[in-house]
């Protein structure tokens, strides 16, 4: 595993930052999980580090993972579903996409996306429900949906559902009461689940990924993380934190030439969840073209397209980035343990669900299949986008979150006989994520994009000065949540409104765009962005 700084200013800042950390004995202390690194209150039991020290324990899972995978293969269970939230589904997606093995990831409450998964034959399906705290509304809902799915097919849920959760969690009690298979795994430091833990690896092993190979690569990198020199986690974290201290606090992630698929999406969640609670953090941006305005740090995976180059196999990338995120947080005088208050989001969503009707409010205006909510003066969508971009202050950014089906674009109609380029163009112009690129062309401020609730209230709250654009959508076909007085569609909208309310409470300008017809609405948004 190797990290190299290719830009002189970054190299100088990284060397200075690393020198200060080495003088304080940080590398070894961080690798050992010394809680005193994070302040006096951490000595009372606050989590200590990045979670890298959890990776060796993952090798102990291999016999159990082999047993589960062998039994699934013998039963012909080829459709593997991972229902979870946070970094573990994102990590599992990177692993399985890189190994080119199929895995259905449901870290969403979108009815359309869930219905697509439910359309697969139950006789070939096995589900992993992964939730460390065991209190997530989305995993509770998905577990209930899949219990009914199997029961209606005449299959005992206990034969097809594996629950991975923390010891003593509400989910453990619920799963054992229902006779489901349970695998217990303690969360990592700061409540963060390490990428190479049971929350990720159970589903990956069932899907056929090379889990043992990943852990071997991680095992070769871990001893380096206690060293004062030749420590890739220290080198990378010093580059991230040193650049941020010097004003380059926007991180552009580049992996176009890498054989690893989708790693920046996981890195975004990691970095966004590790810094920014004390008014100073790193804003990760995925999907932006690398450029330099003096505010960006470009980090490239296995290529020379950035200021920093990171080389190494996927299994090593995970613990090195986790360690680097903790190093950057130390330099910024932040703590990874001060993660966004997910309990706050849970409670706010639950409070909304308890109301007879969700308080959606009245639209400021309607433009075709799009309703616009918020304190805006514009009268049409092109004017709105221009107004929103003008609102972003110097030092601020625009954060777009879409609470929609992130795979819906692949259902978009394409011309008969279309070649690959035409297919790609058709998918892009039906994908809400394309809005980020279109608006980024019209501003010199960073623009981020994430799917809700995958974003988990992280990226959009890093810096003061953030402006928020939230996209919700009407539900054509909903999914009942057994045993709950709401549907997935109602839960999805409640989560979105809770996130919007949290942004407004923190004083951030926020606008909600509601597409009354999802396909037509997304196309209308993209067309309007081109006119803005």
**d(Cα 505, Cα 313) in Å, to the nearest integer?**
42
Q: How many CB atoms lie within 10 A of CB 358?
A: 14
Q: For tokens 């399985």, name the residue.
A: 96
What is the arrangement of strands in the sheet containing 250-254, beginning at the earlier edge strand? 2-5, 308-311, 296-301, 250-254, 283-286
How confident is the model at residue 457, as a pLDDT? Answer: 45
> Structure tokens of 440?
């980024």
How confident is the model at residue 343, as a pLDDT? Answer: 66
Q: Parse the chain into domains and list their residue ranges.
A: 2-32+228-332, 54-215, 340-531
How confident is the model at residue 342, as a pLDDT? Answer: 62
How confident is the model at residue 42, as a pLDDT? Answer: 58
For 2-32+228-332, CATH number out of 3.40.430.10, 3.40.80.10, 3.40.50.10490, 2.160.20.10 equals: 3.40.50.10490
Q: What sign does the dihedral 390-430-400-308 (CA atoms) show?
A: negative
- Whole-prediction pTM value? 0.94
Parallel, antiparallel, or unpaired for β 296-301 and 283-286?
A: unpaired
Name the CATH architecture for the domain at 340-531: 3-Layer(aba) Sandwich (3.40)
Print pLDDT tens along the chain (532 aa). 999 999 999 999 999 999 999 999 999 999 888 888 887 665 444 444 444 445 556 788 899 999 999 999 999 999 999 999 878 999 999 999 999 999 999 999 999 999 999 999 999 999 999 999 898 999 999 999 999 999 999 999 999 999 999 999 999 999 999 999 999 987 665 557 889 999 999 999 999 999 999 999 999 999 999 999 999 999 999 999 999 999 999 999 999 889 999 999 999 988 988 887 666 789 999 988 776 666 799 999 999 999 999 999 999 999 999 999 999 999 998 876 655 556 677 889 999 999 999 998 999 999 999 999 999 999 999 999 999 999 998 888 899 999 999 999 887 777 777 777 777 777 787 899 999 999 999 999 999 999 988 775 444 445 455 899 999 999 999 999 999 999 999 999 999 999 888 888 878 899 999 999 999 999 999 999 999 8
Residue 273 phi/psi, 5-degree rounding, is -85, -5
Parallel, antiparallel, or unpaired for β 466-473 and 447-451?
A: unpaired
Q: What is the CATH number of domain 54-215?
A: 3.40.50.10490
């Amino acid at each position: 595993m190797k990290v190299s700084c290719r830009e002189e200013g970054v190299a100088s800042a990284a060397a200075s930052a690393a020198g200060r950390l080495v003088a304080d004995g940080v590398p070894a202390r961080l690798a050992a999980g010394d809680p005193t690194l994070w302040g006096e209150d951490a000595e009372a039991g606050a989590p200590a580090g990045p979670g890298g020290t959890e990776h060796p324990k993952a090798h102990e899972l291999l016999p159990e993972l082999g047993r589960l995978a062998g039994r699934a293969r013998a039963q012909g269970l080829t459709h593997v579903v991972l229902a979870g939230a946070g970094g573990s589904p994102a990590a599992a997606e990177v692993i399985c996409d890189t190994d080119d093995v199929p895995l259905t990831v449901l870290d969403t409450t979108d009815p359309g996306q869930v219905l697509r998964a439910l359309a697969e034959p139950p006789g070939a399906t096995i589900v992993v429900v992964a939730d460390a705290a065991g209190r997530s509304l989305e995993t509770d809902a998905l577990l209930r949906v899949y219990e009914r799915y199997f029961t209606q097919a005449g299959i005992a849920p206990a034969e097809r559902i594996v629950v991975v959760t923390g010891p003593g969690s509400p989910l453990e009690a619920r799963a054992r009461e229902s006779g489901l298979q349970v695998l217990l795994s303690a969360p990592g430091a700061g409540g963060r689940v390490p990428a190479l833990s049971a929350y990720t690896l159970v589903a990956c092993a069932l899907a056929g990924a090379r889990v043992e190979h990943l852990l071997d690569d991680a095992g070769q990198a871990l001893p380096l993380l206690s060293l004062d020199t030749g420590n890739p986690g220290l080198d990378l974290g010093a580059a991230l934190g040193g650049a941020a201290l010097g004003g380059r606090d926007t991180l552009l992630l580049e992996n176009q030439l890498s054989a690893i698929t989708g790693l920046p999406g996981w890195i975004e969640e990691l970095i966004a969840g590790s810094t920014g609670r004390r008014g100073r953090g790193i804003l990760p941006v995925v999907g932006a073209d690398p450029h330099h305005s003096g505010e960006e740090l470009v980090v490239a995976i296995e290529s020379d397209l950035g200021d920093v180059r990171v080389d190494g196999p996927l299994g090593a990338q995970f613990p090195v980035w986790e360690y680097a995120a903790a190093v950057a947080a130390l330099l910024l005088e932040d703590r990874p343990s001060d993660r966004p208050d997910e309990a706050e989001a849970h409670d706010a969503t639950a409070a909304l669900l308890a109301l007879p009707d969700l308080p959606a409010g009245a639209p400021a205006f309607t433009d075709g299949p799009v309703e616009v909510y918020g304190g805006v003066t514009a009268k049409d969508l092109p004017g709105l986008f221009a107004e929103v971009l003008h609102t972003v202050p110097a030092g601020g950014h625009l954060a777009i979150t879409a609470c929609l089906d992130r795979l819906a674009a692949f259902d978009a109609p394409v011309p008969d006989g279309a070649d690959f380029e035409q297919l790609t163009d058709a998918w892009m112009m039906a994908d809400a994520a394309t809005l980020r690129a279109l608006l980024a062309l019209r501003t010199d401020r960073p623009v981020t994009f994430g799917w809700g609730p995958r974003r988990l209230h992280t990226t959009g709250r890093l810096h003061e000065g953030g402006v928020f654009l939230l996209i919700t959508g009407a539900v054509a076909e909903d999914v009942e949540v057994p045993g709950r007085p709401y549907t997935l569609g109602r839960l999805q909208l409640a989560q979105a409104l809770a996130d919007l309310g949290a942004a407004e409470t923190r004083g951030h300008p926020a606008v909600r765009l509601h597409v009354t017809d999802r396909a037509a609405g997304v196309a209308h948004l993209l067309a309007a962005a081109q006119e803005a």
